[in-house]
């Protein structure tokens, strides 16, 4: 998280080189990639072709990712997230420690703050901090339980999503509420066993190669929760969503974030990767959003066959438009602006 950094645009030759690398490889379209393309082809181009990526996360996204992790894959928490320290140093101390961290990793033998005493004193002198104090006092100001906890936090933070304790407690309370909701738990297959013939898988990665589609790209996605109902011959596809709106307005959220496209893509992934297996040839699929709203109201929302059919027709049209961008190697404007001399409204 934090402020976005300005990145100078690449030169023309760099763009050509990056475009060549991008189009030389198979591309697997995810929901997030398609959503970017729908929102702004130029943003898609910057993110995927030029690889100039903004890794910032808004609060709603952080909460959603955290709830996913705590509910569906709790073992991966330490790999993905890092809690802020219980107590943080003063602004001046953090400034010193942030400067010191630039020296971390230069010498593999130096790990703790005590290993950097000389460098710390130089930084304090450069910043004119604690200069009226004797050296032992300067060091005791910078090396203590609070600063050491922050230093360890800095060392572990790279590549992880930083969360505060309030966000963690909120997500934990949501997960507790989900796990005490029998309707949601049954929908997600948590009560499955050999007796009722229900099994489930969480965070299942599926892909369709470009050569198995009629487009210049393939598809990929991680299914939050997949439930196999052997008795009723149904595969339930469940996608957990955290929304900032109340649950009764989720239809608006589906449209705003193009969740309809994600639903169809996940259905296609399951049909191609799983239902092609003879074991599931007589099975049908059901898709549900498991929605958590701003008031911690939680409920499953099932997508009807009629709605899914409408979304699928829309999805197929969207893919044709996406394919046009790829074939023309043109992401300057949305599809309708590329094929029309001018748009009339």
Q: In degrees, to the nearest 5, what angle opens at C-alpha 9 toward C-alphas 328 and 320?
A: 20
| Lookup: tokens for 112 | 């703790």
Contact status, residue 51 vs residue 7, Cβ threshold 8 Å? no
pLDDT at 6: 46
The 10s digit of each residue's pLDDT in 32-75 is: 999 999 999 999 999 999 998 765 667 888 999 999 999 999 99
| Lookup: tokens for 152 | 């360890």
pLDDT at 184: 95
Helix (H, G, I), strand (E, B) or coil at 200: strand
Q: How far is CA 223 from CA 104, 266, 281, in A?
A: 39, 7, 20
DSSP state of 4: P
The 10s digit of each residue's pLDDT in 193-234 is: 878 889 999 999 999 999 999 999 999 999 999 999 999 999
pLDDT > 90: percent of the chain: 83
Nearest to 315 by CA among 276, 248, 258, 233: 258
Nearest to 292 by CA among 228, 229, 224, 223: 224
The 10s digit of each residue's pLDDT in 79-88 is: 999 999 989 9
* Prediction pTM value: 0.83
């Amino acid at each position: 998280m934090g402020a976005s950094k300005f990145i100078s645009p690449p030169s023309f030759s760099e763009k050509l080189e990056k475009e060549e690398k991008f189009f030389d490889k198979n591309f697997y379209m995810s929901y997030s990639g398609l959503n970017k393309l729908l929102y702004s082809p130029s943003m898609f181009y910057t993110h995927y072709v030029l690889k100039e990526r903004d890794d910032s996360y808004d609060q709603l996204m952080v909460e959603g990712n955290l709830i996913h992790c705590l509910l569906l894959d709790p073992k991966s928490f330490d790999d993905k997230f890092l809690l802020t320290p219980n107590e943080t140093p003063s602004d001046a101390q953090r400034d010193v420690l942030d400067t010191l961290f630039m020296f971390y990793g230069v010498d593999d033998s130096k790990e703790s703050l005590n290993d950097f005493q000389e460098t710390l004193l130089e930084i304090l002198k450069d910043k004119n901090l604690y200069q009226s104090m004797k050296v032992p006092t300067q060091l005791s100001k910078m090396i203590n339980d609070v600063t050491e906890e922050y230093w360890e936090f800095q060392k572990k933070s790279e590549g992880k999503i930083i969360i505060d304790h309030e966000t963690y407690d909120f997500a934990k309370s949501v997960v507790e509420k989900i796990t005490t909701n029998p309707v949601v738990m049954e929908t997600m297959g948590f009560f499955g066993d050999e007796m009722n013939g229900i099994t489930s898988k969480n965070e299942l990665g599926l892909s369709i190669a470009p050569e198995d589609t009629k487009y210049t790209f393939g598809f990929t996605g991680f299914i939050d929760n997949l439930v196999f109902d052997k008795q009723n011959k149904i595969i339930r596809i469940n996608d957990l969503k955290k929304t900032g709106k109340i649950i009764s307005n989720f239809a608006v959220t589906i449209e705003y974030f193009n969740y309809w496209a994600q639903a169809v893509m996940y259905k296609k992934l399951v049909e191609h990767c799983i239902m092609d297996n003879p074991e599931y040839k007589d099975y049908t699929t059901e898709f549900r959003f498991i929605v958590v709203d701003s008031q911690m109201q939680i409920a499953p929302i099932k997508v009807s066959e009629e709605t899914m059919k409408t979304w699928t027709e829309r999805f197929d049209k969207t893919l044709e438009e996406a394919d046009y961008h790829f074939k023309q190697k043109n992401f300057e404007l949305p599809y309708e602006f590329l094929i029309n001399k001018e748009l009339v409204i």
